[in-house]
């Protein structure tokens, strides 16, 4: 089968012929239909410091995917061959305190498909049976391939109640765009997004933002006034990893605001803790998806009419992966897909 393999000491991937894997007793073999390219994949592609310290090479990468059940191990039953599925990319240990308590998203030492174990940029991949997400018949395979980043967005966006609330989203990369659609669908009053990328700000308006603010030229306080807001945003979602964005949140939220933080900073940075303390802000870090509450919510959101397809800006055949990574690095892209089969 074909696989995009990362080799040490070089930028990029190699599209190679490798052996199709055989499912172990508790594993499921999935024929990949569509994969999404994540920022994580770009770090691995570019072979930066983080990637060099993290990725066991050579290894097949990729973790956002949808596909069809193509085989099961001897301990696996209940799946239907040809059934459309996606899968949770965090493979939990099963025996730490949180895993035993059923809080698998808080596992002490999860493996990660396409990061620490072989991934989905291939014609087939193996997934532990407990990671497979089923019951997505009727959902477009391209949308199902987005369930990993969509899950990050849903997990963050629904961490706090947003019905009737004024929500500030800092950073509209693909996950920020998806979160914009979710909070709008979930009944937020105003959804104000910030970024420095004109293409993505425009896309955010199409995905339900009330206002898209270019922080290089516009002032968030003025936007609050324009919208008739009195005291600040009730909820903020930090999705950029940018220190200034977190400061913008501290400066523009009400006392007691709920702040969910998903964006990963490239390095540690100081913040004004006096604002957090005096304003009694509630800061919550978010990682991954809740297994499988977030997945259930994704199904329901899509089935109740939430259209997340505008986030898809590019589609390529797997063979054109170089073009796909070029598109991903352009300023006029959001989610870039690779197609592996029909
Ligand atoms: Zn665990």
CA of 242 to the centre of ligand 1 (A): 30
CA of 76 to the centre of ligand 1 (A): 21
* pLDDT of 147: 98
Give CA–CA dist 16/277, Å, rounded: 54
Catalytic residues: 40, 43
Give CA–CA dist 118/127, Å, rounded: 9
pLDDT in tens, 170-229: 999 999 999 999 999 999 999 999 999 999 999 999 999 999 999 999 999 999 999 999
List Cα–Cα distances, 342 to 34, 72, 82, 111, in angstroms: 9, 21, 12, 29
* pLDDT of 287: 97
* pLDDT of 116: 97
Neighbours of ion ligand 1 (CB under 5 A): 92-93, 96, 99, 107
Residue with tokens 């609050």: 224
CA of 106 to the centre of ligand 1 (A): 7
* pLDDT of 202: 98
CA of 151 to the centre of ligand 1 (A): 20
Reduced to 3 DSSP states, what percent helix, strand and coil does the chain have, rounded to the nearest 5?
30, 25, 40
Residues of the chain with pLDDT under 50: none
- Strand intervals (E) in 37-128: 59-60, 64-72, 84-87, 90-91, 111-112, 124-128
Give CA–CA dist 85/69, Å, rounded: 7
> What's the pTM?
0.97
* pLDDT of 137: 87
């Amino acid at each position: 089968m074909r696989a995009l393999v990362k080799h040490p000491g070089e930028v990029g991937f190699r599209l190679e012929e490798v052996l199709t894997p055989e499912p172990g007793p508790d594993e499921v073999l999935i024929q990949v239909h569509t994969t999404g390219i994540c920022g994580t994949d770009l770090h691995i592609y570019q072979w930066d410091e983080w990637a060099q310290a993290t990725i066991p090479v050579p290894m097949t990468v990729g973790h956002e995917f949808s596909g069809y059940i193509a085989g099961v191990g001897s301990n696996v039953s209940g799946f239907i061959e040809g059934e459309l599925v996606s899968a949770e990319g965090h493979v939990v240990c099963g025996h730490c305190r949180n895993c035993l308590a059923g809080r698998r998203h808080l596992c002490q030492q999860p493996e990660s498909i396409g990061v620490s174990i072989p991934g989905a940029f291939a014609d087939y991949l193996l997934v532990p049976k407990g990671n497979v997400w089923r019951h997505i018949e009727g959902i477009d395979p391209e949308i199902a391939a987005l369930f990993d980043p969509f899950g990050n967005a849903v997990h963050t966006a629904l961490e706090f109640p947003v019905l009737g609330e004024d929500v500030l989203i800092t950073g509209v990369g693909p996950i920020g765009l998806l979160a914009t659609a979710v909070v709008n669908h979930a009944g937020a009053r105003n959804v104000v997004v910030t970024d420095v990328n004109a293409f993505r700000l425009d896309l955010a308006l199409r995905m339900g933002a009330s206002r898209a603010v270019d922080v290089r030229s516009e002032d968030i306080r003025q936007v609050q006034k324009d919208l008739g807001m009195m005291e600040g945003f009730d909820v903020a979602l930090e999705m950029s990893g940018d220190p200034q964005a977190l400061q913008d949140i501290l400066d523009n939220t009400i006392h007691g605001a709920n702040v969910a933080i998903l964006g990963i900073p490239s390095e540690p940075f100081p913040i004004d803790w006096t604002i957090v303390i005096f304003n009694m802000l509630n800061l919550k870090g978010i990682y991954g998806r809740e297994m499988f509450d977030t997945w259930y919510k994704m199904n329901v959101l899509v089935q109740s009419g939430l259209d997340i397809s505008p986030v898809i800006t590019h589609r390529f055949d797997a063979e054109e992966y170089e073009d796909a990574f070029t598109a991903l690095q352009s300023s006029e892209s959001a989610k870039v897909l690779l197609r592996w089969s029909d």
